[in-house]
Structure 1
Amino acid sequence: MNLVIQSPKPLAAAHAKPLLALARGVSVQHIDAHAIRITETDPTQRGNVDAYCETHALDYAFVRPDLAWRDFGLVAMDMDSTLITIECIDEIADFCGLKAEVSAITEAAMRGEIKNFDESLIARVSLLKGLDAHALDHVYAERLQLSPGAETMLAAAQSVGLRTLLVSGGFNFFTDRLKARLQLDFTRANTLDIVDGKLTGCVLGEIVNASVKARTVRETCAALGIAPAQAIVLGDGSNDLEMMAEAGLSVAFRAKPVVRAAADVAFNHVGLDGLLRLLQ
């Protein structure tokens, strides 16, 4: 396996020698100012590499030497805290003075401490009852920001013919706008019930939970005529684990511990464009 080491800052040359020794690799190749590739490493040395990288705020990934864009046909992404930096429901709740209460439920759900995502979403949305729907516009226009490297990563994937899916336990008010803005191919998310310009505190239709996310990835792959193993899936919360398990390459982005432990790759420091350095 090759070992790719990345840093959000220019990678100090002094890291190459100790990492080469820790990973029992053969040679060091410079990818760019922020990354190196160590060839023919021993993945059983992951623990030593992990400890070193955690100490020095570096990201690492053991990858096949021949891993390339051509191996994949789809990039599937979570939205909140993955493609974008915020949890939209928390920011919506801020407009009715309940951000701390809603955020606490969101955080527990994403860590996997609340096992029933449907119930947690219903509970959070119920607290928004009566809120003017214009709050959604304010969240999108004033608070929603793309995660670092998101546009670069998507442009690279699209340039080599990969299709894109945004699948979220959040709301289609935001996924629809991001679809148009980023020229995404497919989206799926929850629908907030709005009557007379006010949120009713209800979600319409089937809730997009962990199993629905995974099913959406499978169905999208089937529609494209590819296997789920030809999908790259990126997520951060426990409700992403099932769809990440479908993937040929799963990426935990600034993720909760339970997700980092399950993913093929974890980006804790670099942006989403760190994906580009893993693929030939």
Structure 2
Amino acid sequence: MIATVGTETLIVQAPDIPTPSLKQLAKLAGASSIEALPTTDTQAFRLAPAGNRAAVAAFCAESLLDFAFVPPDQRLDRVRLAAIDMDSTLITIECVDEIADMLGIKREVAAITESAMRGEIDFRQSLKQRVRLLTGLDVSALQRVYDERLRLSPGAERMLAGFRSVGAKTLLVSGGFTFFTERLKARLGIDYTVSNILEIADGKLTGRIQENIVDATVKAEWIRRLGNELRGSDGLIVGIGDGANDLPMLANADISIAYRAKPIVRARTTYAIDQCGLDAILNVFIHNP
């Protein structure tokens, strides 16, 4: 097959990329140069110039490689805002599922969560249903989840530092809970957070959410509003998420990234990261010397 080569570069990333696979991919893409990129726990290469998108995508899917075709003007220093989902994106857990585990009902709640993230049931109703099941739980359980179970996704801190290095703002926008987003904001230096407030009375969860629910529509409104404020003349807005509830937010980003996401999300985003950590996102941008 003859590759149709354009002006884009191809970024390929994975925990390990065998040399024969890399050479085969370069030939398939019509690339004349291969450059290793600096990484931590994975391997990443830039192949240029590159084309033959469909064949490259098929090869990378079969070889379990993350890939991205990157246009020459997609510079990291153009990013003005990175909007990031929390549960199963910035962090490795679904907080509501782990809270439910404190009551011994994780399996029941997790099944509802999974269905909502696949887009099979309405998020607002699913969240109300899950929170209602937490009625009576002592608020100390939230701290236990944060201390004992909440872990950052691989590469999260390096990704945030990369965006911060070019002056980009970060927005943690979540259908989860302020108990966790506010702690992560303080810990990681995130600029903005939006999430749901669990109602508490006498030190226990009431099974209700205060004020308006942060759902897909609210997420989209926040990235759109902040994006309009921060974009400037040539800025880029980046959205990162994993579930169906993130799709409207991602649709309002210039560059949307599915991180270890559901198929419905991977099919509708600019890029997908499945094999690497969040810091791999930095490599889909051109870095100025």
| TM-score category of the 2 structures, normalised to the smaller one | over 0.9
Q: Is residue 8–residue 271 contact of structure 1 (8 Å, CA) maintained in 2?
A: no
Question: Matched residue pairs, number?
Answer: 276
- Higher helix content, 1 or 2: 1
Residue of structure 1 in register with 2:28 after alignment: 22
Q: Secondary structure of 1:234's match?
A: strand
Counterpart check, 1:112 vs 2:119: yes
Amino acid at match of 1:159: S
Counterpart among 22, 38, 56 of residue 47 in structure 2: 38
Show CA shifts across 1:215-254 (max 9, x none): 0111222343548972111000001011111111111000
Q: Is residue 132–residue 199 contact of structure 1 (8 Å, CA) maintained in 2?
A: yes
Q: CA deviation at 1:163?
A: 0.6
* Structure 1 unmatched runs, 5+: none
In 2, Cα distance between equivalents of 1:85 and 1:57: 20
Residue of structure 1 in register with 2:9 after alignment: 2
Amino acid at match of 1:205: E
Q: Is residue 251–residue 263 contact of structure 1 (8 Å, CA) maintained in 2?
A: yes
Counterpart check, 1:60 vs 2:60: no
Residue of structure 2 in register with 1:88 after alignment: 95
Show CA shifts across 1:183-236 (max 9, x none): 111000000000001100001111111110000111222343548972111000
Counterpart check, 1:251 vs 2:261: no
Residue of structure 2 in register with 1:261 after alignment: 267
Counterpart check, 1:161 vs 2:170: no
Amino acid at match of 1:94: D
Show CA shifts across 1:31-89 (max 9, x none): 246111111222xx333222322222211011112311122101110000000000000
Show CA shifts across 1:107-150 (max 9, x none): 01101111x21101001100000111111000000000000000
Q: Is residue 80–residue 235 contact of structure 2 (8 Å, CA) maintained in 1?
A: no
Counterpart among 107, 110, 115 of residue 103 in structure 1: 110
Counterpart among 235, 239, 245 of residue 245 in structure 2: 239
Residue of structure 1 in register with 2:200 after alignment: 194
Q: Is residue 229–residue 248 contact of structure 1 (8 Å, CA) maintained in 2?
A: no
In 2, Cα distance between equivalents of 1:8 and 1:139: 29
Q: Is residue 190–residue 203 contact of structure 1 (8 Å, CA) maintained in 2?
A: yes
Q: Is residue 124–residue 215 contact of structure 2 (8 Å, CA) maintained in 1?
A: yes
Deviation above 4 Å: which 4+ runs of structure 1? none
Q: 1:228 to 1:175 in 2, by over 3 A?
A: farther
In 2, Cα distance between equivalents of 1:7 and 1:178: 27
Counterpart check, 1:184 vs 2:190: yes
Q: CA deviation at 1:159?
A: 1.4
Q: Secondary structure of 1:262's match?
A: coil
- % identical aligned pairs: 51
Q: Secondary structure of 2:104's match?
A: coil
Amino acid at match of 1:6: Q
Q: CA deviation at 1:12?
A: 2.4
Counterpart among 61, 65, 71 of residue 78 in structure 2: 71
Q: 1:215 to 1:227 in 2, by over 3 A?
A: farther
In 2, Cα distance between equivalents of 1:227 and 1:125: 42
TM-score normalised to the size of structure 2? 0.91
For residues 129-140 of structure 1, the aligned pairs below 5 Å read 129-140=135-146
Q: CA deviation at 1:29?
A: 2.2
Q: Is residue 78–residue 234 contact of structure 2 (8 Å, CA) maintained in 1?
A: no
Residue of structure 1 in register with 2:57 after alignment: 50
Cα RMSD after superposing both structures: 1.6
